[in-house]
Every structure is written in C-alpha cells, then in structure tokens.
Structure 1
Amino acid sequence: MKKIVLFILTAYLLTISFHSIQAQTWHIPPLPKTSSEYTIMIFSTTDPPNEQEINELISSYQTLKIRYLFSEAFTGFSLEGKKAELEQFANGFKKVVTTFESNVYTADFVKTDNNTLIGAKKVRGIFDQNGNRLTGRGIKIGVIDTGIDYNHPDLSSVYKGGFDFVDGDRNPMEAMGDKGMTIHGTHVAGIIAANGKKRGVAPEAELYGYRVLGPGGKGTTDQVLAAIDQSIKDRMDIINLSLGTNINGPDLPVSQALDKAVAKGVIAVTSNGNAGPNMWTVGSPGTSASAISVGASTPVLITPFLSVWHVKENIPLTPLQGSKKWSLDRTYQVVDGGVGKKGEITNAAGKIVLVKRGGITFTDKVMNAAEAGAVGVIIYNNTDGEFAGIIDKKCPIPAVSISKQVGEVIGLKARKKPLMASAIYKRESDLLADFSSRGPVTVNWSVKPDVTAPGVAIESTIPRGGYTVLQGTSMAAPFVTGAVALIKQAHPTWNPEEIKSALMNTAMHLKDQSDKSYKVFEQGAGRIQMEEAVKTKSLVIPGSLSFGILSEDRNYGTKYIKVKNTSDSAQDYRFIYKGYDPNVRWELPPSFSLNPQEEKRLPIRAVLTRPFNGKKEWIDGRIFLEAGTQRIGIPYLFAVKEPSYPRIMGFSIVPGDKKGSIRYEAYLPLGAEEFGIALFDSDTLSFIDFLDVKKNVGAGLVNNQLMLPQKKYIKRVTAVAFAKNEGEEDYEQLSMPLKNLENN
C-alpha cells in the first residue's frame, strides 16, 4: 500500500437511526450507565414487526430489549443491548433484510422583521376557500426536535400535544434543568407559529412536539425515525426537522424515511446543515429527495464597517454577542491596547481601543477599555480567520471582532502615529450565510438545498417565557415550514410535490456582494417569496433538474417535467434558455397552451456536443418557462466527469464492548476499492499500525468492532480512515484523535 499522508481533521459522527414507534411500545427503557458496552441496532424486515414474536426470540438473550416498532416510514424495529448479542440475533432472524447501527443526531444551529422579508405579512391579506385569512388555521405541524416549552405565553395557544421519545412519555416539554437545559425546539416552534408578543409565520397553526433530542441537543437515529413514523399516524400535514448529520448520502435511514413520509402525504421540511461554505457539506436528512431542504440566507441587516485612514478597503465588523450595538457616528482615533489588560490600555478616553485576542476573556477586555474611557473596542484574532465571541456582562460600550491580518496592519499603524477611523453602515440582505451547507448530494448528484430562507440573527421564543437570537439552517427551515402551512391552507388539494414546486418556482435568485450568482448547489432555487408562491398560476414539477454525469460515454440526459396550469383561465407557455455554451445543446419543448387545471408532461434534454477540457466538473444554471405574465426559473445541474466528491465521511471511533477493543464507523458514498483504519503518533505523525484493511467495500455505511493490536501505545494517538477507488492514485483520509488507548 502507498504511503498515507496524515491530515489532522476533526471528525464526528452524527447519524440517525430510524424506525417508527407503535403506541404499545411507548415505554422506552433507558440505556444503562455503562452505555459504551451497549448499542442500538435497527432491523429492516420484510413484513411489519410482531412484538410477541420478537419478545420470544430475544428471551434467550440477557441484554436485548425492544425500543421501537416501525410500520409507517420504515418497516422494522430497533433493539438495544450488547453488540455481540445484537449481531447474533441478526444472523438468526430470517426476516431481517438489513441492519443499521443507531448513532447520534444533533440540532442544526449556530450559537430579525423576517416575516416581512419572505412575504408573510402580505399573505395575511389573502383569504382561503372558507373566507379565513392565511394564518395556518387548521394545519397540523409536527416539530421533531428537542421538545417545546408549551407553557410559553407565545406558544400555549397553538400547542396541541405530542410525544417524548427521549423519556418515553406524552410530555415533550423542553428540558428545563440548569444542567442539560435545551432551547432549540422552542425557538424553532416560535418561528413557525408563535402567537403572542412574537408572531410566527403561521400563528394559528396547530403545533405538535416530538422530542427526539435530549440534553445537549442529541438523540439517536431510531428516536428520529420513531417520531417520523408517529407523525404519519397522527396525520400531520407538515413535519419540521431542524437537525442533521455530517453524512452526505441519499440512502441514510432518516432520508429514506422522509421520502416515504412524503409519499404518504406528509410535507417534510429539513435544515440543510451548518457545515458550509464548501461543496458536499449537506448532510442527512437534508439529502432526502422528497423533503424540502433549506439553506440559510441573511435577513435585512445593517452591517457596520470601519473606514481607516491609509487602509484602502472598508473592514467588516462582527459584533460580539451580548455587547452594546455598534453605532458610532463620527471619526475617532484608534489606539493599541495590547491584549486588553488594565495596564496596557492607556490614553483611551474618547477613543476606539484595538486589542488582540487571548490572555484574558472578551468581557474583561471590554470592561477594562470602558473603565479607561474608550467609546468602543475592536478585538482582532490571534489565529487566521474570523471569529465570534460573547460578552457575558452588561457593558456600556460596543465591541466587535476583525481578522488577525487586518488587526495587525491597524495595530502597526496606530503604534507609529495617530490613526483615525470612522464607522460606515451598509444595508445587506439575501446573501448566503457562510455556515449554510452546500450540495450537491453524493451518489445521485442532485441539487440541494432546494430553497433558502433567513437563518442569521433570528429572534424567537425560548423556555421560561424568554426570547433570544440564534442562527443556523435550523432557523431557516421553520420559516419554510410556516410558509408551507400558509400555502397548504390556501391550496388544500395541492400535494407535497406541488407545494414544494410552488416555493421553488417563485423563489428569488440570489447573488453575492459582487453581483455574481450563487451556484445552484449553494442556493437551490433561491430565497422563498410567500406571496408569489401562494398566487402562482402555474407549477413546474419538479422544481429543479439534476442530470447526473454527462460525458463521452453518456453525452446526453433527459428529464421529464410536468407543467400544470393552476389558474382559472387558459395560459400560453414558452421555454427560454438565455445562456450560451458551445459544449452544450439544450433540446427544449416547443411553445404550447394549457386550459385551466390542465397539465402536460414534457421532456428536457441536455446534450454534450464536445468534451470539456481542463478542471471544470459542473455545469449549472437556469432554464426559464414563460407562463403568461409569469417567468419561472428552473435550476439545473450536471457533472461533465466523475466529480471530486468526498470518498469517505462520517468517521467515528468509540470504545468497544470488551477491554482493549474499539468500534468504528464510516460512510463511503460509492464504496471503495480499498478501505482501512491506520494509527499514527499524534505528535510525530509517525505510522504505528493498521487496525483494519478491507478490499472492494460496497457503498454505504461500513463498521467493525475489533481488538487493538497487542502493543503498548503512547498516550496521543490519531486514527486515520483511508479510502481509494479504482484508477485513483491518492488515498482520501479522515482522522480522529484518540486518547489512552492502552487503558480502553
């Protein structure tokens, strides 16, 4: 095997387990405290599970217990117990089709008037078929999350019930203890349907809470699956899943479960993930083909910049959370304050103090500057990149952060001679948040996210009657869920696919600060516009076109769309392609007309007329359909060769069932010719040993439990998972530091 180059990367596994729960199995046994010896395994079966039969089969095992039975979104069941007994059971039960190991799922958030931005307030003036304003009345929404504080004054009137899959009871209350308290689900619920001091997008919808994430915002795959299953039984119109994993694959259990839920009429909305801005960072369940996957854009923000004498570019300022708003309105002198200790900040009265990160807390730096009479504090990073910080005391002056590179330049100038600076303010909106995960999806190379919504600086409800600002695709998804509720109220006969297309067909195409369009796999169709979606007179289904890989071997791809006239009058339709590429020819249908409520199925073909040269891998853009006075943009995406997708992801190692053993798991989107785990010295990067090596591994999850080699390991060890496909020279690696392996 070729030499492996070690890259120290932080890897963590956030997978979901799936299977639906039936009422008679709502008693959920808690995992033993020695949970490293236990695991949860999900079994897919040919027929719906029979509890009596399973109980008889596990009676001879000491540790096995039933957790959930699934019959709606997934056919099968989950068991907990020691892995050796679980594997023995799986090998002996003939009805088992396949098995999945349950791991950890986590909430998608990173620790403003957005209803106006997305058009919710305008939609209030539209009436449904019964003469009611569009407020979500009569629409049932399931929030699959950390629970809901249904006693919050803004939520008590809209909360209607639910279930707690963490504690196994009918009380999905958000965790309130000082240790392990969560706020995520209540925040999400408020964005959707708060009806009090804060008003959600759909303030008269019926909210149901399905608590699947416990303290720390984490839960197991089978808990999430159980909630999806139960939401189908409870006849939810919409379910919101502001949670995710770091595995980009369409075949993960929760993604598959959402596809099945949508097929049964439930509209599924999920966050796209917070691992951006790089490609391939979307994670399950955002990879579900049928769900509406949501990326995060910025709402209307007034962003402060610093204009510094003798520095050409205006410097963006990132406010520290908890600090006073930066609103300085004239020119001030900037003085250097070291790292912000009291003795370092001198001659600061009426000036802006520049300090370096490190040494003492952000709060101490700002308080010291305030005591010295400063009007504001700028903290520059001590490592590359931007950063965000928190001020945990009430402070009379504002504080912001900037990058190390810019801070060092300003500091050098300020130490040489008096340096003057002034603040300027820019109104910005509809930019993609850097943290918002990008697509495309591996394996099927499809467009994700589908749409975007505001996900930055979002204020909403939190437990104990409070409010706070959070950001993440977790906050963007519930805006879409609320929008879906209003569209569903306005058009009760539309199915999930039609409602998804209404949002995509009418979305606003987003551009960056340089007026350059974001890629289709970054923004999907764009930022939702609710009024346009409710009033649309035509639908194009699906809302985007993913052609896969087109190359010399397969130089064309054909996708079929359905065009539906949803208006009360005849409509004329004409396709337009505005771009030009000498390597691609588009074959579009001729013009046509549709009568009211008539629909037509049409082919769209992309043809490569000659091979692409160089490093170009992806072709994306939009085809337009003129539908009467409406113009509908249809995003498209295809690769012109096998793309440079991640060969391996979701790598995790945990202690095994026996002393001296480990269990690992990784996800291989398309399999690997060679896969393995190697150990390296974390300090010297020298190779120690191989833990496992496999040949010709199939696509999907790969895991194993094995004993560590019999040798004395040093304290600091890093495990590296490596994979390579046929024809590739280099191995792709993910690494994970391990501690005290010899004591395991």
Structure 2
Amino acid sequence: MIVGLTPIKVNGQIESDELSVIVEVDGDPYQHKAYIEDHHPFVEVVEVYDTLLNAIAIKGNRQDIEEITLMEDIEKTYPVRTYHTTNVNTSIPFLKDPANQLDKPLAYNGEGVKVGVIDTGVDFHHPDLTSSYEGGYDLVDLDKEPMETLPEQGQPTLHGTHVSGIIAANGNMKGIAPEADLYGYRALGPGGMGTSVQVIAALERAVNDGMDVVNMSLGNSVNGPDWPTTVAVNKAIEKGVTVVIANGNAGPNNWTVGSPATSDKAISVGASTPPLTYPYLFDSFTDKKIPLQTLMDSVPWSLQRKYPIVYGGIGEKEINDAKGKIVLMKRGKIPFEEKARKAEEAGAIAVLIYNNEKGPFQGGLNDKGDEITIPVASLSKKDGEWLLEHMVQKNKWMATEYETTEDKMAQFSSRGPVTISWDIKPEIVAPGAAINSTVPGGYQELQGTSMAAPHVAGGAVLVKQAHPNWTPEQVKGALLTTAMPISDEKGNRYEPIDQGMGRMQIKKAIHTDTILHNPLLSLGKLTKLKEDVTYKLEIENVSDETKAYHFELPEQEKGLRWHFPKTFTIAAKQTKTVPITLEVTTSQRKKGLNQGWVTLRSDETSYELPYLFVNKEANFPRIMGFEFGLQAFSDGKYEYRLYLPGGAKGLTVDLYDAKTLQFKRTLLQLEELKKGLTEGVIEGRKVGDSGSYLANITIVTENGETYYQQVPVKIMSD
C-alpha cells in the first residue's frame, strides 16, 4: 500500500505524473532498494527505513510508482492516520528563574545537546534560528531542506518555526536552550497535515541522526496506547531518545488525550498559563464579572474606564451610534475581521463577539488583523446574552478591570486518562497560553499544548546538558519528580488527569537528588467487590549520600485503605523498588474514575504522587478515529479503519443522505471485535452509489450496551 502520497508541485501546480511516496516492504528494505535501482532506473530510492519502519521512500513517474506498489512483497502499511499541529515572552524566564526556586543561577544553555523538532518544518533563514539550526530532513518532499510550506506550495505553515523558537531561538528572542543544536523534520505538509507513516519516518530519521531530545507537537484523536505512532515513539525512547509530545487541544473533557501522547514512555505535556494579565468586564451593581478572550492578532484590550455598549447584530448591517462605545456582536456568517472593521469604521472603541452556541470560543483576525486598530475579544454565549439584556437594552456603562494570574490549567488542554491502559495523562504541564515566538518573517503569539511541549523539550535539553550520561528514563523522571502541583482560582488542586505531576521546574529537575521513575500511580481497572492493588514505585537516589524516605498516611476515605512501607533508606547512587498497596471496597466508591494524591517525603522535600483507578466501568468514548476512503491503486476498492477501546460484540455502519438524513443502506456489519484497531477492505461494487453521506456507526458491547457515533463520509467512484 502507498503511504505518505505527495504529488510534486511546480509553481504551485500539481504535476500529476510525478509522486513522492513511502512504502512498507516485506523483508530487507536494502534488497528492495537494490531491486528497484536495477529494474526501475527511472525511480529514485530517496531513503531506506530500517529502525522504526521497514520501508523505502521513492520518487518517480506515477505509472512506475503504481507498478512497484502492486508487487507481491509490498506489505500492508500501518494505518494512515491524519496528524495535524495541535492548533517566548515571559514564559521562559518564568520557568528558568522563578523567585521561588533555587538561588543558584541556571548555568545551562543547551550547548552540545541535539534536539529534533518533528513538525511542519522550520524557517532556517529566520535570524533568531540560523545560529542554532544544524540540519534536518523533509519527509513530505523527500529532501534535506525541511522548510515550512510556502504559499506557492499550498496552505502555508508556521507551526514548526514557532515551536523551534521556544526551544532554541538565539537572537532577539532567546529560547529555553539557545545554544542547543536544532534539527527540523518536516512530517506535516500544506495546512499542517500529514500521515502517521510520515511522522514515524521522521522519528526514525531523528533517531538515526543521533537526537538527544525530540519534540512532537502533533497528534490525532485516537486515545489508545497501541496506535502505531505510539509504538514507534516507545521504540525511539528505547534507543536512547527523550521524546516530548503535546497532549492535545481537545479539553477540558476527559479522555481527550490522543496518540502518540498516549505513549507510556514519552513525556506527555499539558498546557498551563504563564504570568498573564487578563481583562474582564465588571459591573459593581450586580457584582457581575465577565472574562474576555482577546482574539488572535487583535491589539491588546487596554480600556481604562467605563464605556457604554451598543448592539451590532452579526455584522450584516451598518452600526449606528457606535462612536466611542463598545460594540457587542453575535458570532455567525460574517468573518470576525469584517465585523471588527465595520465597528471600527463606525467609530467604536472596542468589539465584543459572543458565541452562537454554548461555551466560550477562540478565534483570530487572520492576516488582516494588523489593519484593525481597536481591540476585539470573544465571550461565551451566556455572557453575551447577559450583556445584551442588562447593559445594552438598559443603556448602562461597563468597566474594564484586570487580573494577573499564573499556573492555571488552560481550558483547551486535553485531559486523560488513556483508555485500555488507564494511564494518567498529561504527566507534566508547562505554559501554553499566549506564547510569542518565531514564525516565518517575524514573530507571532500562539497558544496550545503545541506551545507547552517545546518548553518541556527545552527543559529536557538542559537536564541532558547537566547530566549527559542520564538515560531518557532519568531525564523524564527528574522532570516529573520535581514538578509542582498547581491549583485553580479557588485554591483547589487540579485533578491528576488535568495536570499529571504539575508544572515543570527546570532548576529543581537539574539539581534533584531523587528520581522517581514511575511517579504517576496508575492502578488499573477494578471489577471485584474488594480488591488489593499493589504498585511498585522505583526510587533512585542520585545524590552522594544515603537518604531516608517515608510516606505520609493520607486522610482516611471510605472504601480505601493504604499500606505503605515503613521508613526506608536508599544508599548513594542506588535504586530501590518499594511496594504501595491499596485495598479498595468497590461498593463504597463511586463508579468510574477515582483519583487523588499521596505524599512521599525525604528530609525537607515532599513529592506529591497522583493516583488513579477505574471502578467497575468508565464513561470513555467507545468509538474513535473512523476513516473510510479509496484504497490507493486498488482498482476501486475502499478501506476502512476505526479504534474500539473496549472492543464490540457487533458493529454496524449505516449510511444516511447528508442533506435529508434519509436512510440509504448499510455499509458494514462486523461481529466479535477485539479491543483496539479494526480495519479492512470493501469491494467497490459493495459500497454503492457515489455521494455525500452521514455514516451512523453503532456498536453493541459484550454487556449489551449500545453506543453511536456519526461521521461524514464521501463516496467517489473512479
């Protein structure tokens, strides 16, 4: 099967006769390379993969490529799952030298450490990156220049350059590790899109290039520990590479972490806030406080006194009486920048856009934002409707006030746990909101766990520089062991599946004398009336003297009884595994996720260890990642795949007309499906008529429960 299919573009036009592809092969890939060079002289073998993949990358005429892919020894590839970008101001000094950390200055800058960024490429001509950039590879165009996608090549990208700047910018802007050797691996092409095989091939290249640390600010929606990219990440770590992965931007709901952040060996990163000043509207009479989310590319919201608010609808009509006032508008139809421009032309002092559906939203003013000189912010539907009723219709004025905050979880940050393995994710958090960094042609503020992960990757680089002989397990353990649990505005600690061990503290990780190698206590799924679960915690004393440790007994909870070892010692440079046993009376605990914290102490240092177990059952998604489309060069065959974390007794996929929702036909029926990946091929004649459909996926579990998911599907005949 062909994977990583990339038509060559010339002057922005696709040349349909030439292709760049990656194919997985059966047997020795070097023998396949020799065979192709002997028998297909017009096909270029660009790369051979033999570390994480068994594959070759080839370029050539479409007809020649098709002939090669039909050979018997071309193996079925890993599922081609689409990946995308999970779409350094005050955050870096905040992490490198906060007032509450060690007095000793941070003496490390990343020198001598190699860090690879698997992403959309990197603008290696950017003046802040030229001194750090040492090379890389383009897995989209299959060449040695991993430049971001340019406008003439398709939808341009900037994500990889932004991520690279956070790690290793060394110019007007300084990254976490400005003296590190930076390598870029372009696995995501126009629009930030790519395939799982391109990602795996990029990771293999990074391993073979000798990277010490790799950052992957990318992912998909499949929450499972055995997706192929997750498996490849684990193999890379086993070969000595520390891999840092963004947790995803599908929060705040649980079970939203996606592969490959589901890897149990990688460092999975969620997003917290750096020190930020937030504007909010405040009405003292009603004690109403409305937070504002400034749109991307908007000028800062800096109003200092009260202003009246007028209503501008959705922006279709001219706005009357807006001069010197705030214009409130509803989201819908008209682009944000057009709404803002119309309000500005009417003399408005600022614009508020409220959601047309439940909850808040994030948005941007695109490339035209620099033409708009007034601030533009978003509101939730609830807050917008409140303003309309209590301020606009009653001709009242509203004040802007400001609040400075830090170390709060970003709402967009994906939450755990991982299905099947029940691992706690994320494992650590770092600033990912309002992060200014390098982009082609300058600088831009972005937010996401994509921005949090490179902060941690940079932290890993500094730990590796300080301790060059440490393994990936020790680097990860040091960062997790010394992370600081964070709390919400009310002082309540965020749950383990929100923050893992907490916010990264680089200095403490570098100078730690203890490494907890598996400090997130994932206790699994409990099904019996009473169960004893034993977790083996591995503790390494990296100091030069014997250290004593003991656990604090947590407050007694109904249905839980902890058994910890008595005070114990670990000699200098030694490791000990200690058992922690939890007795659970499941009938006295709530069904689903049960989580909390236990405390380990050594001298004056305390380590907060999160724990989690699933009681009986959990409300995790039962259907994920459904894909359906034509199989490449297959003479009209279609392939399908989906992920079933709990398996299924039966599965049915019914097609409905996308417009009328009228039932058309049943596409697929399967029985007795195991946990994990389900995939297969359907003959074209069995698929039916072309058209746009809504696929209704129904599964029935072993317990007789029924679950549904609807996914748009297009069927196109050859």
TM-score of the two chains, using structure 2 as the length reference: 0.89
Secondary structure at the counterpart of residue 101 of structure 1: coil
- Pairwise CA distance, 1:630: 0.8
CA contact (8 A) 1:660 1:742 kept: no
Secondary structure at the counterpart of residue 288 of structure 2: coil
Residue 461 (1) aligns with residue 435 (2): no
- Pairwise CA distance, 1:287: 0.9
Mapping for residues 375-454 of structure 1, pairs under 5 Å: 375-391=349-365, 392-393=368-369, 394-414=371-391, 416-454=393-431
Sort the Cα spacing of 1:643 and 1:76 in 2 relative to 1 into closer, same or farther, 3 A: farther
- Pairwise CA distance, 1:620: 1.2
Query: Which deviations, in whole Å up to 9, do the C-alpha atoms of 1:368-404 show, x marking residues without a partner?
Result: 3334433222222333332333332423322222122
The percent identity for this pair of structures is 39
State the AA in 2 paired with 1:664: Y
- Pairwise CA distance, 1:546: 1.1
State the AA in 1 paired with 2:521: L
Which of 42, 60, 84 matches 1:106? 84
Provide structure 2 residue ranges, at least 5 long, that are not aligned to the other structure.
none
State the AA in 1 paired with 2:434: A
CA contact (8 A) 1:336 1:345 kept: no
In structure 1, what is the Cα distance between the partners aligned to 2:362 and 2:112? 41
Aligned to 2:455: 479
Aligned to 1:700: 676
CA contact (8 A) 2:667 2:687 kept: no
In structure 2, what is the Cα distance between the partners aligned to 1:103 and 1:165? 16
- Pairwise CA distance, 1:352: 2.2
Secondary structure at the counterpart of residue 78 of structure 2: strand
The 10-residue stretch of structure 1 (441-450 or 569-578) with the greater mean CA deviation from structure 2? 569-578
Sort the Cα spacing of 1:212 and 1:124 in 2 relative to 1 into closer, same or farther, 3 A: farther
- Pairwise CA distance, 1:324: 2.5
Sort the Cα spacing of 1:742 and 1:596 in 2 relative to 1 into closer, same or farther, 3 A: closer
Aligned to 2:208: 233
Mapping for residues 676-695 of structure 1, pairs under 5 Å: 676-695=652-671
Which of 330, 342, 349 matches 2:305? 330
Query: Which deviations, in whole Å up to 9, do the C-alpha atoms of 1:511-531 show, x marking residues without a partner?
Result: 223333222122111111111
Aligned to 1:70: 49
- Pairwise CA distance, 1:266: 0.9
In structure 1, what is the Cα distance between the partners aligned to 2:54 and 2:95? 38
The Cα RMSD (Å) is: 3.4
In structure 2, what is the Cα distance between the partners aligned to 1:395 and 1:76? 50
Aligned to 2:348: 374
Residue 142 (1) aligns with residue 116 (2): yes
Mapping for residues 594-613 of structure 1, pairs under 5 Å: 594-612=570-588
Query: Which deviations, in whole Å up to 9, do the C-alpha atoms of 1:668-708 show, x marking residues without a partner?
Result: 22432212321113344333211111111233322233246
Aligned to 1:581: 557
Aligned to 1:672: 648
- Pairwise CA distance, 1:157: 0.7
Query: Which deviations, in whole Å up to 9, do the C-alpha atoms of 1:691-744 show, x marking residues without a partner?
Result: 1111112333222332466798595521123322211331x22222234x4756
Aligned to 1:51: 30
Residue 297 (1) aligns with residue 276 (2): no
Query: Which deviations, in whole Å up to 9, do the C-alpha atoms of 1:472-507 show, x marking residues without a partner?
Result: 111111000110111111122221111111111111
- Pairwise CA distance, 1:320: 2.2
Which of 736, 739, 743 matches 2:711? 736
Sort the Cα spacing of 1:494 and 1:715 in 2 relative to 1 into closer, same or farther, 3 A: closer
Sort the Cα spacing of 1:127 and 1:264 in 2 relative to 1 into closer, same or farther, 3 A: farther
CA contact (8 A) 1:620 1:635 kept: yes
Query: Which deviations, in whole Å up to 9, do the C-alpha atoms of 1:342-364 show, x marking residues without a partner?
Result: 64322x33332223334644334
How many residues align structurally? 703
Aligned to 1:195: 170
Residue 283 (1) aligns with residue 258 (2): yes
Sort the Cα spacing of 1:57 and 1:549 in 2 relative to 1 into closer, same or farther, 3 A: farther
Secondary structure at the counterpart of residue 382 of structure 2: helix
Query: Which deviations, in whole Å up to 9, do the C-alpha atoms of 1:11-58 show, x marking residues without a partner?
Result: xxxxx979xxxxxxxx999699779x9996645x6x7x2422576599
In structure 2, what is the Cα distance between the partners aligned to 1:85 and 1:549? 49
Query: Which deviations, in whole Å up to 9, do the C-alpha atoms of 1:580-626 show, x marking residues without a partner?
Result: 22211111111012332232221111221353455x21221222111
In structure 2, what is the Cα distance between the partners aligned to 1:185 and 1:157? 17
Query: Which deviations, in whole Å up to 9, do the C-alpha atoms of 1:48-69 show, x marking residues without a partner?
Result: x242257659999999997754
In structure 1, what is the Cα distance between the partners aligned to 2:253 and 2:205? 35
In structure 2, what is the Cα distance between the partners aligned to 1:68 and 1:606? 51
The 10-residue stretch of structure 1 (287-296 or 49-58) with the greater mean CA deviation from structure 2? 49-58
Residue 318 (1) aligns with residue 293 (2): yes
Sort the Cα spacing of 1:612 and 1:41 in 2 relative to 1 into closer, same or farther, 3 A: farther
Which of 499, 512, 515 matches 1:539? 515
Secondary structure at the counterpart of residue 105 of structure 1: strand
Secondary structure at the counterpart of residue 483 of structure 1: helix
In structure 1, what is the Cα distance between the partners aligned to 2:20 and 2:110? 43
Aligned to 2:611: 636
Secondary structure at the counterpart of residue 601 of structure 2: strand
Query: Which deviations, in whole Å up to 9, do the C-alpha atoms of 1:64-103 show, x marking residues without a partner?
Result: 997754332345667999999899756x68xx7x752334
Residue 248 (1) aligns with residue 223 (2): yes
Query: Which deviations, in whole Å up to 9, do the C-alpha atoms of 1:88-146 show, x marking residues without a partner?
Result: 756x68xx7x752334222222xx40012223578998589xxxx20111111111112
In structure 1, what is the Cα distance between the partners aligned to 2:230 and 2:46? 21
Which of 312, 317, 326 matches 1:352? 326
In structure 2, what is the Cα distance between the partners aligned to 1:455 and 1:580? 36
Which of 94, 115, 128 matches 1:154? 128
Aligned to 1:7: none
State the AA in 2 paired with 1:653: F
CA contact (8 A) 2:110 2:178 kept: yes
Aligned to 2:137: 163
Sort the Cα spacing of 1:55 and 1:100 in 2 relative to 1 into closer, same or farther, 3 A: farther
Secondary structure at the counterpart of residue 131 of structure 2: coil
Secondary structure at the counterpart of residue 663 of structure 1: strand
In structure 1, what is the Cα distance between the partners aligned to 2:39 and 2:652? 35
Aligned to 1:550: 526
In structure 2, what is the Cα distance between the partners aligned to 1:592 and 1:322? 56
CA contact (8 A) 1:28 1:168 kept: no
Which of 476, 488, 498 matches 1:512? 488
CA contact (8 A) 1:61 1:85 kept: no
- Pairwise CA distance, 1:470: 1.0
Aligned to 1:22: none
Secondary structure at the counterpart of residue 314 of structure 1: strand
Q: Which of 1 and 2 has higher RCO (CA within 8 Å, sep 6+)?
A: 1
CA contact (8 A) 1:149 1:173 kept: yes
CA contact (8 A) 2:690 2:717 kept: no
- Pairwise CA distance, 1:411: 1.9
Sort the Cα spacing of 1:550 and 1:413 in 2 relative to 1 into closer, same or farther, 3 A: closer
CA contact (8 A) 2:118 2:215 kept: yes
Secondary structure at the counterpart of residue 555 of structure 1: strand
Aligned to 1:23: none
In structure 1, what is the Cα distance between the partners aligned to 2:688 and 2:245? 46
TM-score of the two chains, using structure 1 as the length reference: 0.86
Secondary structure at the counterpart of residue 705 of structure 1: strand
Secondary structure at the counterpart of residue 502 of structure 2: coil
In structure 2, what is the Cα distance between the partners aligned to 1:299 and 1:692? 48
Which of 498, 502, 524 matches 1:526? 502
CA contact (8 A) 2:167 2:177 kept: yes
